[in-house]
Structure 1
Amino acid sequence: MRTRSVTRGGLAAALAAAVALGVAGCVPAVDEPEPPADSGAANVTKQLDELTVAAAGSMKGYSRTRFPHWRKTGKNCDVRDSVLQKDGESIKLSGCNVVGGSWESVYDGLVLDDPAQVDIDHVVPLANAWRSGANEWDDAKRGDFANDLTRPQLVAVSARSNRAKGDQDPSQWKPANRSYWCRYATDWVTVKHYWRLTVTSAEKAALTDMLEGCK
């Protein structure tokens, strides 16, 4: 199975800058911190230890509309197109709209050749974020989270795997592709650490176990 982790960070940063330009009318984004240079297993384990452990919060008041997405990134295209372009191969564009290409779903290894077959997964699901602290944010911050192209929060996967995952955390659902577990756990921790979201004790235990595969 092909591994995309080597280039995803650079592409994500470039795409995030493009989004900032499109939204802000060519005004560079301000005070956007760079992802940590050390992304090794030791650093991720340290980040996991820094997360607050707490029981999952209530779903009261939750709605996907409280996390506005997908933001526009150009005429007739949006963040979804940006992720399709980042994660795909042999991409075909109509303007900046992705109309063709090939995608290997990292969760289950399925190869998809039609963008309509591809789901864009929030690695940390919106509902999970709500239960772990995002309920206290305003909708603008929740929109930043839902459209985050800088962190490894958005990935193109098969609809089947995305819907099987739902809003479950790693103690409840893991990718069928076990070789992706290290990357999945790393991405999950990276996102939660940056956005200062909590983890449950079961979630932390599952992440710790998955990160063992990174060593």
Structure 2
Amino acid sequence: MQKVYARRRLSILAALTGFMASAALFNSPAASAALPTPVGAATARSYLSRLPVATEDRTGYSRDKFPTWITISGACNTREWILERDGESVVTNSACTATSGSWYSPYDGATWISPSDVDIDHLVPLAEAWDSGASTWTTAQRQAFANDVTRPQLLAVTDNVNQAKGDQDPATWVPSRSAYLCTYVRAWVQVKYYYDLSVDTAEKNALRNHLAGC
């Protein structure tokens, strides 16, 4: 039954994403909205207990199978929308490109004043999603996942920290800033649960251990 509901959620989200991309008329939340707060630790532990455990399989993965970035609102694509949401005193031009502002990276505690120093991280990486079940999705569903501004899946972080993270899961990588660890693993579990993605054994053990301290 859970998988049926998950498929329905994906179908609805994909339909909304397609509407935004084609018409650019979807009434999105204001870009000044705060980063979505993940579920609490108790809820995350409950979700984790219900996630299917499976061996990861990257056969056939390509980043191109997760189209980014799409139009979110007006002239703003996903990257620019997140930059404006997560930044302070952000100034944009008529194309919605950020020209100035400041961005605090919760992963390492660094603050940047140039948008070129900031990446938009997919908290659950696209390759990880593919390994965990997204290989069976349609392109529209993968596009919805890659541009999800509703759940705590996208956030602005230091570019080289994001690059060092790559496609790793919490068994091998968590933010160096310990104050953000609980938020990170709660968000990870929430996203995986919402999209009905699996976890591998090492990943589940690491998440369980981290959540025990939250």
**TM-score, scaled to structure 1:** 0.81
In structure 1, the residue matched to 2:211 is 211
- Aligned partner of residue 145 in structure 1, secondary structure: helix
The aligned runs of 1:99-110 (5 Å cut-off) are 99-110=99-110
The within-5 A match list for 1:61-72 is 61-72=60-71
For 2:18 and 2:100, the matched residues in 1 are separated by: 21
| Unaligned stretches of 5+ residues in structure 1 | 1-16, 30-36
CA 1:199–1:101 in structure 2 vs 1: closer, same or farther (change >3 Å)? same
**Alignment partner, residue 138 of structure 1:** 138
Shift of 1:22: 6.6
Residues 1:50 and 2:62 are matched in the alignment:
no
| AA aligned opposite 1:93 | T
Q: Deviations over 1:148-203 (max 9, x none)?
A: 01111001001111011000000011111111110000110010000000001110
Give the TM-score normalised by structure 2.
0.82
* Cα separation, 1, equivalents of 2:172 and 2:149: 25
Q: How big is each residue's C-alpha offset from its partner over 1:79-131, in whole Å with a ceiling of 9 and x where there is no partner? A: 00111111111111113332211111111111110111100000000000010
Distance 1:124 1:47 in 2: 15
Any conservation in 2 of the 1:123–1:153 contact (CA below 8 Å)? yes
Query: Could you say which residue in structure 1 is the equivalent of 2:202?
Result: 202
Please tell me whether the aligned partners of residues 20 and 28 of structure 1 are also in contact (alpha carbons under 8 angstroms): no
For residues 17 and 127 of structure 2, what CA distance do their matches in structure 1 show? Answer: 27
For 2:181, the equivalent position in structure 1 comes to 181
Secondary structure at the aligned position of 1:188 is classed as: helix
Return the alpha-carbon distance in structure 2 between the equivalents of residues 28 and 83 of structure 1: 16
Identity level (%):
46
Structure 2 counterpart of 1:70, one-letter code: W
Aligned residues: 190
Give the residue type in structure 1 aligned to 2:84. Q
Aligned to 1:172: 172
Task: Summarize deviations over 1:30-84 as a string: whole Å, max 9, x none.
Answer: xxxxxxx992211111111110011111x22111100000002355531001111
Is 2:163 the counterpart of 1:163?
yes
Please tell me the root mean square deviation across aligned C-alpha atoms, in Å: 2.3
Question: CA offset at residue 209 of structure 1?
Answer: 1.5
Instruction: Letter of the 2:42 partner, please give it.
Output: A
- How far off its partner does 1:212 sit? 2.2
